[in-house]
Amino acid sequence: MKRKSLLDPLKLRAIKDLNSLVENKKSYTYNNCELDIYETHTSIQNVSLKFDNFAFTGMIRGKKELRIANKTDKFEYLPGESLIMLPGEEMIIDFPEADTSPSQCIALSIDRNFIKGTVDYLNGYFPKIDTESQWKFSDECFYLFNSPSLSAATNNILRIAIENNSAKDFMTDLALKELLIRIMQTQARKYFETNFLQYKNVNRFASIIDYIKNNIREKISVDGLAKLAYMSKSNFFRAFKQEFGISPNHFILQERIGQAKSLLRHQLPVSEAAYQTGFSDPNYFIKAFKEVEGVTPKHFQKDLLLKK
pLDDT grade for 131, boundaries at 50, 70 and 90: confident
Same structural domain for residues 178 and 220? Answer: no
For residue 135, pLDDT over 90 is answered with yes
pLDDT of 191 reads: 93
Please tell me whether residues 42 and 141 are part of one structural domain.
yes
Strands 81-85 and 143-145: antiparallel
107 and 206 inside one domain? no
Residues 6+ apart with CB under 8 A from 267: 301
Longest distance between any two alpha carbons in the chain, whole Å:
63
Partners of 85 in beta bridges = 55
Mean pLDDT to the nearest integer, 34-52: 97
In a domain, 6, yes or no: no
Residue 65's CATH number: 2.60.120.280
- Same domain, yes or no, for 131 and 207? no
Residue 184 sits in the same domain as residue 270: no
Do residues 183 and 208 share a domain?
A: no
Q: How far apart are CA 58 and CA 284, in angstroms?
A: 33
What's at 286, amino acid-wise?
A: I
Q: What is the CATH number of the domain that holds 232?
A: 1.10.10.60
Which pLDDT value is given to residue 3?
A: 59
Helix-strand-coil percent breakdown of the chain, rounded to 5? 45, 20, 35
Strand bridging mode 75-77 / 33-40: unpaired
- Cα–Cα distance measured from residue 46 to residue 273, given in angstroms and rounded to the nearest whole number: 43
Question: Where is average pLDDT lowest: 129-138, 146-155, 167-176, 231-240?
Answer: 129-138
Same domain, 282 and 254: yes
Q: Please say which residue of 166, 192, 218 terminates a domain.
A: 192
Does residue 223 share a domain with residue 159? no
Q: Are residues 69 and 147 in the same domain?
A: yes
| pLDDT value at 2 more than 60 | no
Q: Answer yes or no: do 163 and 216 share one domain.
A: no
| Closest of 71, 64, 76 to residue 86, by C-alpha | 71
In which domain, by residue range, is 215 found? Answer: 200-308
> How many domains are contained in the chain?
2
Fill in the amino acid letter for 242.
Q
pLDDT at 5 over 90: no
Q: What mean pLDDT, rounded, does the chain reach?
A: 94
Residues 53 and 175 reside in one and the same domain: yes
Residue 9 domain flag: no
Domain presence at residue 4 = no
Query: Is residue 5 in a domain?
Result: no
- Output the pTM of the full model: 0.92
Whether pLDDT at 115 is above 50: yes
Residue ending a domain, among 160, 192, 224, is 192
**Would you say residue 8 lies in a domain?**
no
Q: What is the pLDDT of residue 60?
A: 97
Residue 119 contacts residue 135 (beta carbons within 8 Å): yes
Note the pLDDT tens digit of each residue in 194-249: 999 999 988 999 999 999 999 999 999 999 999 999 999 999 999 999 999 999 99
Same-domain check for residues 60 and 172: yes
Work out the average pLDDT over 112-136.
94
